[in-house]
Amino acid sequence: MTRLRCPGCGHTQDMAFDLKGSWRVRCHACDTEFTIYVISSSPVEYTFVACPECGDTESIPRLGEQLQLTCNSCGRSWVQSL
């Protein structure tokens, strides 16, 4: 399973993309089309981050050194170092 997060609205969904490669997908919540890249079929490590604006916490996959995030509660965007 692969967990996807829409860059348009932040909606997350688990989908069966177990094959490596790039895929064009459409968000079921806002109809945004975007490309995903499946680089590994191994389990992804998750970590918790807190929004610097409202303090809301969320579990996100550790996919790099820094991630551009948008809070699902207040809409604030920021760069998070992991």
Looking at residue 77, what is its pLDDT? 93
Residue 20 sits in the same domain as residue 51: no
CA atoms within 13 A on the CB side of 50: 4
> Are residues 63 and 36 part of one domain?
no
Average pLDDT of the chain is 84
- Check whether residue 2 and residue 27 sit in a common domain: yes
Residues 28 and 52 in one domain: no
| pTM of the complete model beyond 0.75 | no
Instruction: Output the six-digit token pair for 49.
Output: 């981050």
Domain ranges, residue 32: 1-43
Q: Are residues 68 and 36 in the same domain?
A: no
| Strand pairing report for 21-26 and 57-61 | unpaired
pLDDT at 57: 93
| Structural domains of the chain, count | 2
CA atoms of 14 and 37, how far apart (whole Å):
14
Half-sphere exposure of 59 (CA within 13 A, CB side): 4
**CA separation for the pair 73, 4 (Å, rounded):** 18
